[in-house]
Chains A and B, each alone.
Chain A
Amino acid sequence: MDIKKKYIDIFESCAEQFRKSDTDFMFAKRNEALESFRQNGLPTAKTENYRNFNIADIFSTEFGNVLQNKTNVDLNEYFKCEVENMDAEVVLVSNGMYYDQNKILPDKAIICSLKEAQTKHRDIFEKYYNSSASNFGDGFVNLSTMLADDGLFVYIPDNVRLEKTLQIINLNHGFGSKNIVKRNLIVLGENSSLSVVVCDHTLNSSNNFVIDTTESFIGNGSKLTHYTLQNEPDQSSLVSSHLAELGDNANIESFVLTLHGGIVRNNLRVRFNGEHSDANLLGLYLIDRKQYVDNYTLIEHLVPNCNSNELYKGILDEQARGSFMGKIIVHEGAQKTAAYQTNRNLCLTGDARMTTKPQLEIYADDVQCSHGATVGQLDEEALFYLRQRGISTKEAKLMLMFAFANDILMNMHIEPLKERISGMINSRLRGELSECSNCLLNCEGGNCNM
């Protein structure tokens, strides 16, 4: 089966509908992406950045049905419960579709569906949409531009610091195999700030293929905290891309947590377009069985005086496989760059496999860069020490695994969120993560057993 042709066919079958519902701008962007997709297709095993990624594994399932119908269940019914400790605005996205709750944000901040933004916030939308994604040159990102029916649009005006965390819950549900394609756009003006937590909440074990692309534009003096908590069923596939553009004195804190997933690919690109900006990039994957997680990060220091700090860690159990490819490019003239990258992994079994490849490309001479990668086992000596004090082997291993993950938590700056994530990691390591405890919502009591 020719996958490329198949997706072009899907596009063509939807084109008429897109043309009707899109603005001219939006439809033009789809066609630009289509052209790029026609030329480049999807990555193959020979594509440098996808070397460890087996695309054929994803497409061993046939996916259909790109255009989703809004679900006719009252999703709010399933999320009646209150978020514990966290001051959050909850936003629901159902199979890639923004679920309208007439959310009003303070201080003229905007949150709405991508569809609505095309017309209602046309100026901002057309200034930013696809301006970063179009030059990323990734087949999956092209697909998302071509096929996304909806997604989320968030705009924070100048001098607005949104205090509440925005919690976006991706509800993936329904039966059968679907392509779920979404595009999100986050724009921060100057001196503003926003915290976003994106949680997956899969309501039943469907084997979907989710393609999710987020562009974020962080204006001068602004700060974006962006956490992604991935928790997909074993049979599912996910390619998630986050493309962030930073202005002067801007700041991004990104955290990608993969707790479950069949095949997961995370792309993260951070581009420093303005000086004196910082990026703090964290990743944690806790995988077992036959799960596969692939993290690709690209940090581009285009201007001087910026710092990037990257720490990705993983624990792989059973036959899990993982890959980390981290590229840092310090462009010519980007003096006084400080770029640090670390990837550490624990393989708990002989069958678990991890490939890690840091890459530094430096075209400036006055920079501080370092990278390091390790793949190891639990420290036998530490394990013995704990057990010698009467702690069971199982508990001792958990303590060491949790300690390993704790590094990541120590780098987080939103306290209640850190606590909740710490709890999630703990229950994940204990193998106690249930469907209802897998999101930040505390919907116990059968509120969400679909």
Chain B
Amino acid sequence: MLTIKNLHAEINGKEILKGINLEIKEGEVHAIMGPNGSGKSTLSAVLTGNENYKVTDGEVIFKGRNLLEMSVEQRAKEGIFLSFQYPVEIPGVSMINFMKTAINEQRKYRGLPELTASEFLKYTREMKEFVELKDDLANRQVNVGFSGGEKKRNEIFQMAMLRPCLSILDETDSGLDIDALRIVANGVNKLKTPETSCIVITHYQRLLDFIVPDVVHILYNGRIVKTAGKELALELEEKGYGWIKQQLGE
């Protein structure tokens, strides 16, 4: 699905990613953990094509194609979805209009007919139930006045609507209460198919209890310094990052 080779990226002339290598196969869930500021969100921004970041070296192959050559919207239409760490509020744009435009642009790209108004409403209703999104949220302006937890739930609602093949969940667990965490995680699990993959960025084991990763990576100072099975997350939970730093001789 996704192959990242020696990826270097900078923002405002400051190098943040310093040679990332990663291979994600179809159907896999990869967790990325790592201390604050290590570059996790930067990686998700670079993968989704955020133009504020400059790729200085390396390559990214997505479904056999050069991802770095694609525009932000093309990547999205190819099936990359980012659940933002900090979803932005967009006053004046309604959730309904936003989602309808997004879905229909994606369908057009895939050669599918646009959804009719009634098909769209029916689909929206189903997906809302899927993540137990409060009824009125879909009628409101994008993220405006949503609580922190509601914003995160809204991200997964959009994921359910758009059915991406590669989802990147950037700290989707932060801000969620215990019940919401379970609902959101269940949603993500139900959306999982043998053809879809998921990158889960998180600081805590608790999300990984629900969304069980196949592989856990530690991103530290712009590099992946350790890769192991799901037990690595438990080890981090217990010991923190000190021992990693020691191993790296810092």
Interface residue ranges, A against B (CB under 8 Å) = 379-382, 384-393, 395-396, 399-400, 402-404, 406-407
Contacts and interface: CB of A to CB of B under 8 A. Distances in A.
- Residue from A388, A395, A396, A407 with most neighbouring chain B CB atoms (10 Å): A388
Given A393-B71, A395-B101, A399-B98, A388 B76 contact: yes
Given A389-B158, A389-B162, A407-B92, A395 B105 contact: yes
Contacts of A381: 88
Of the listed residues A380, A387, A402, A407, the one surrounded by the most CB atoms of chain B closer than 10 A to its CB is: A387
Contacts of A382: 88, 90, 93
7 contacts: A379-B90, A385-B87, A386-B90, A386-B98, A390-B106, A390-B162, A403-B90
B224 interface: no
A387 B76 contact: yes
Contacts of B158: 389
Contacts of B240: none
A391 B77 CA distance: 9
Interface in B50-101: 50, 52, 71-73, 76-77, 81-82, 84, 87-88, 90-93, 97-99, 101
Contact of B88 (A379, A391, A392, A407): A379
A384 B101 contact: no
Contacts of B97: 399
B232 interface: no
Contacts of B141: 403
A390 B77 contact: yes
Contacts of B91: 403
B102 interface: yes
Contacts of B72: 384, 387-388, 393
Nearest to B109: A390
A400 B93 CA distance: 7
Contact of B101 (A391, A393, A407): A391
A380 B91 CA distance: 14
A403 B102 contact: no
Contacts of A392: 73, 105
A385 B84 contact: yes
B101 A399 contact: yes
B172 interface: no
Contacts of B77: 390
A392 B84 CA distance: 19
B48 interface: yes
